[in-house]
Every structure is written in C-alpha cells, then in structure tokens.
Amino acid sequence: MCRWNAYIGEPLLIDELLYKPKHGLIDESLHARMGAETTNGDGFGLGWYLSDMPTDPARYRSVNPAWNDANLRDLTRHIESHLFLAHIRAAIGSPVQQSNCHPFRHDRWLFVHNGMISGFAQMRREILMAIDPELFRGVTGSTDSETLFYLALSYGLADEPLGAMERAVGFVEQLAESHGIDAPVQMTIGIANGERLWAIRYSSNAESRTLFVSEDVEAVQRLHPENPRLRELTEGDRVVVSEPLADLFGAWIEVPESTGICIEDGSVDRRPFEPRRPSPHDPRASTSA
C-alpha cells in the first residue's frame, strides 16, 4: 500500500513533518515496520500551497524512492507552506512513472490515495469512459487513484468533495458488482484546495488502512520535541497521517471507518461517508454498459 501525510495550519517548513519525526513519512518509505508491508519505493510526490497563491498548488513528483531523493530533502528544507500533502507509493499493477505518482492535480485541487480498486484492470475502460470528456484530457497516467479522482471531479468534486467522492465510489461499487468483483474499494483519501483539507476513510468491506488526525497542538509539537520552530505552532494546526508516527503523544483522533472529515481554521468537522449508487438516469452509468 502507499502512505500519505498532510498538514494544514500556520506555515510550516515541510521537512519538519516529513523528515524530522522519528518514523516520519520518508523514514517509513524505507523501513517497513509492519511485517505485511511492502516498501514504498515506487515514487513519491509532494503538493503544496503558498499563502500568496492559494489557488495554484505546486507539485514535485519523482519515481525515485523517497528516502534517496536528494532534491526532495533539499526542497522540503526550503519550502514553507500552510497546506501540503505528501505521498509515498507502492505500485500495484501500473507502471512506476511520474504521471502515476500522487498527488494528482486539477486546477486548485490536490488528491492523494492510499489503497486500491480491486479488479481495476477489468473496470478501467468503463471508468475512463464515465469521466467527463472535458476533464478527460487531464488524465495522464494509468492508476486507479487518478481515475477515481477524475471520476469524482466529473461528479462535482470541485463543488463538494465528500459528496462527489460518495457518488464516485458508488459508481465503482456498482460497476464492480456487475463484473462479479467483491469489495472493490479500499481507501484513505486526502483532498486539498488551498484553504481546506478533507480526508476520507472508507472500504467496501470496512477494512481500511488507518488514518489519524492530530487533536491538539501538543501532538504536533511532540513530533520533534527539541524543535523550537514547532513551539510556535498554534492551536489550529493539524497533521493528518495515514500511518501512526513513532509514539502517539498528545491526542490523535483515529478516523473511523466510513467517515469523511473537513478541516478548516483549526476545526475538524466529521460526517459519515456513504457511497451513493448512480441513479437509473445517471448518464455515466449507461455509458458503462
């Protein structure tokens, strides 16, 4: 599987989260701590927003393993951002190439995914056909993750991310059923637009990978106790991680199964995540016939 981290709050040097903590994301890309884990060495990506360009996210993606990429280390030491997403990839079934690394980007939106769509090889063509023709040109890779993102964009992610994801997942689950594929969707999702950060934890069979949100600023500060920069953090700063960091000091909220959250200005809103199958009139469902 993959892993991802996100941060939203006062501007932070990116390496404070990615490199400094013990068992942070970059360290995790190399050392698979849990026995069943594969190494996440099939590329990585970083997307971030600058305060004076909140609708124009920057992105750096590479097929190098994260742990040995000198550029990533250098960049993260010199870029400060109020909102960023980082992802390390373990490829399943699609080539290792820059266009298959997360985050995926469309206009002001960034998207990361940990998990998979089972049976994607059988369903890829139909899901691609369900993407809006105007959006189709943005699909440059061949992953299930990017395809899911563009399907959700087609369902209005830019207006309402959680609702659009519910409809996209519902579409995939219905399509999977028609193909005899069980439990197709497994995901934790991170979505950002420059002002807010959303996260989703959902799987068709309720066996998702983990997802945690930091509850208070102490949890973030303890990422690196000797770090004076982190003492300047304020209450509203949040870290979202798909895997727990070294020791979970402070309070970390584990995001439950089938839950979507939205973080803005320090507050964390939670709601159920319930996929919605396409209505009989949904044109996308008919093109996949």
Task: Tell me whether residue 130 or residue 223 sits nearer to a copy of itself (CB atom).
Answer: 130
Selected catalytic residue, list 2, 162, 220, 261: 2
Q: Does 108 bind a copy of itself (CB under 8 A)?
A: no
How many other CB atoms are there within 10 angstroms of residue 60's CB atom?
Answer: 18
Q: Does 77 bind a copy of itself (CB under 8 A)?
A: yes
Q: Does 3 bind a copy of itself (CB under 8 A)?
A: no
Q: Does 286 bind a copy of itself (CB under 8 A)?
A: no
Indicate which single residue of 10, 11, 54, 99 sits in contact with a copy of itself (rule: CB under 8 A).
99
Smallest separation (angstroms) from a copy of itself to the CB of 225:
23
Name residue 114's amino acid: N
**143-172 residues near a copy of itself, rule: CB under 8 A:** none
Indicate which single residue of 133, 180, 225, 280 sits in contact with a copy of itself (rule: CB under 8 A).
133
HSE-CB of 56 using CA atoms within 13 angstroms? 3
Residue with tokens 């993750």: 145
Smallest separation (angstroms) from a copy of itself to the CB of 31:
7
Q: Does 96 bind a copy of itself (CB under 8 A)?
A: yes
Alpha-helix runs per DSSP H in the chain: 15-18, 25-30, 70-78, 120-130, 133-136, 144-154, 161-178, 217-221, 228-231, 283-287
The pair of three-digit structure tokens given for residue 112, joined into one six-digit string: 């990361």
Give me the phi and psi of 120, to 5 degrees please: -60, -35
Which residues, other chains included, contact 53 with Cβ-Cβ below 8 Å and sequence gap of 6+? none
For residue 55, the SS3 value is: strand
Name residue 78's amino acid: H
Alpha-helix runs per DSSP H in 66-117: 70-78
Q: Does 22 bind a copy of itself (CB under 8 A)?
A: no
The helix or strand, by DSSP H or E, that contains position 206, with its residue range, turns out to be none
Question: How many amino acids of this chain bind a copy of itself (CB under 8 A)?
Answer: 46
Indicate which single residue of 23, 92, 108, 142 sits in contact with a copy of itself (rule: CB under 8 A).
142
List the x/- string, 45-74, binding to a copy of itself by CB under 8 A.
-----x--x--x-xxxxxxxx-xx-xx--x
Cα–Cα distance, 244 to 106 (Å, whole number): 29
Active site (annotated) includes residue 262: no
Task: Tell me whether residue 16 or residue 42 sits nearer to a copy of itself (CB atom).
Answer: 42
Catalytic residues: 2
Residues near a copy of itself (CB under 8 A): 30-32, 38-39, 41-42, 50, 53, 56, 58-65, 67-68, 70-71, 74-75, 77-79, 91, 94-99, 121, 124-125, 128-129, 133, 136-137, 139-142
